Chain A
Amino acid sequence: GAVVSQHPSWVICKSGTSVKIECRSLDFQATTMFWYRQFPKQSLMLMATSNEGSKATYEQGVEKDKFLINHASLTLSTLTVTSAHPEDSSFYICSARVGREPSYEQYFGPGTRLTVT
């Protein structure tokens, strides 16, 4: 099956610094990737959809200047949390869309645990 990797798996950073999270599709090309945020014991919250070679589409309420998304190639999307604050601490998960209508599937990365101190 399709494999999606994320790096790092966990990161601790100081308030005010920036953190970059990488999402890679290892054995397929992903035109579309998604970035989610998950709070403890809660469902996934879609942050943005990124399409290769174009600007990401952010969900309502997500600050695009704070959460910078770059999808420069068909196998790599990055999420940069800029000027991180403790409230940005969360579990960030990326996923890649595979297949064509109607059989789209989403394959998920293992997630990145961000802790801002």
Chain B
Amino acid sequence: AQSVAQPEDQVNVAEGNPLTVKCTYSVSGNPYLFWYVQYPNRGLQFLLKYITGDNLVKGSYGFEAEFNKSQTSFHLKKPSALVSDSALYFCAVRDYGNYQLIWGAGTKLIIKP
């Protein structure tokens, strides 16, 4: 069965410091991995995806994620956090031929000035 885990309910980071939001997954085939961000009372915005190719994927707003097949992880990273990055972040996965995304529980990211 497919599943996604975001082990941290909340991550606190000081502005200017690097941030990491963790995500691990389980799929039967090759994983297609996604990160979305949700601001309060808003829908989700696509950040980045991994389909194939380079393990390091660059996305919107300076975010990047590293696909690690051996650790079945797809952690979201940013070298220098901004207060405006504070939001809810969701990791999602699907495999080929299955168009439904499986969602993680979400991680609340708080960036303190």
Chain A interface residues toward B at CB < 8 A:
1, 4, 6, 32, 41-44, 46, 49, 91, 93, 95, 97, 101-111, 113
Show 18 residue pairs from A and B whose CB-CB distance is below 8 angstroms, ordered by the A residue.
A41-B106, A42-B105, A43-B90, A43-B105, A43-B106, A44-B90, A93-B43, A93-B44, A102-B32, A103-B49, A103-B51, A104-B32, A105-B46, A107-B46, A108-B36, A110-B43, A111-B41, A111-B43
Count CB-based A-B contacts (< 8 Å): 53
Q: Mostly helix, strand, loop or mixed at chain A's interface?
A: strand
**A44 and B97 contact, CB distance less than 8 A:** no
Q: Mostly helix, strand, loop or mixed at chain B's interface?
A: loop
- Docked complex Cα distance between A109 and B44 (Å): 7
Chain B residues touching A, range:
20 to 34
**B43 and A97 contact, CB distance less than 8 A:** no
**B100 and A46 contact, CB distance less than 8 A:** yes
Docked complex: B73-113 residues within 8 A CB-CB of A = 90, 94, 96-97, 99-101, 103-106
Known A-B contacts A43-B90, A44-B103; A102 and B51 likewise in contact (beta carbons under 8 Å): yes
Confirm or deny: B45 has a beta carbon within 8 angstroms of a beta carbon on chain A. Answer: yes
**A109 and B43 contact, CB distance less than 8 A:** yes
- Docked complex Cα distance between A116 and B35 (Å): 32
**B100 and A108 contact, CB distance less than 8 A:** no
- Docked complex Cα distance between A21 and B1 (Å): 32
Q: Which chain B residues lie closer than 8 Å to A107 at the CB level?
A: 46
14 more A-B contacts (CB under 8 A) besides A41-B106, A102-B96? A6-B43, A42-B105, A43-B105, A46-B100, A93-B43, A95-B43, A95-B44, A101-B97, A102-B32, A102-B51, A104-B32, A104-B94, A105-B46, A106-B46
Task: Return B20 CB to nearest CB of chain A, in Å.
Answer: 20
**B96 and A101 contact, CB distance less than 8 A:** yes
Q: Which chain A residues lie closer than 8 Å to B41 at the CB level?
A: 91, 111, 113
**A43 and B104 contact, CB distance less than 8 A:** yes
Q: Which chain B residues lie closer than 8 Å to A108 at the CB level?
A: 36, 43-46
CB closest residue in chain A, given B105: A43
Confirm or deny: B52 has a beta carbon within 8 angstroms of a beta carbon on chain A. Answer: yes
**A49 and B43 contact, CB distance less than 8 A:** no
